[in-house]
Amino acid sequence: MANQKPHRLPSAAKHMRADARKRAVNRARKDKIHDAEKALNAAIAANKKDGIQELLSTCFSQLDKAAKTKVIHQNKADRKKARLFARVAKMA
């Protein structure tokens, strides 16, 4: 059995199915982060001060959720939050 290809074993096939589901969930979480950052960056570029706190809060929330579920590392989330906050603070 050790010489068989990994995908031929039933447990390996189960792992591959689970990995595909996890990959889809992680991809969706990263897409949400990307969309939130994109909206915030567009507001910063347009110098729109109204609603910027809401967008910043959304970004922070998405980053925290991703870090909590280990989609991204906690330090990466903290670093992104600090940089986004600094850009918003520079506007004021």
pTM confidence score: 0.84
CA torsion 40-44-50-55 (nearest 10°) is 10
Task: Give the C-alpha separation, 70 to 43, whole Å.
Answer: 28
Q: For residues 26 and 62, is the Cβ–Cβ distance under 8 A?
A: no
Task: Give the C-alpha separation, 39 to 31, whole Å.
Answer: 12
Tens digits of residue pLDDT in 7-44: 678 888 899 899 999 999 999 999 999 999 999 999 99
Task: Give the C-alpha separation, 42 to 87, whole Å.
Answer: 12
CA 36 to chain centre: 10
Tens digits of residue pLDDT in 36-49: 999 999 999 999 99
> Could you give the domains of the chain?
7-91 (1.20.58.110)
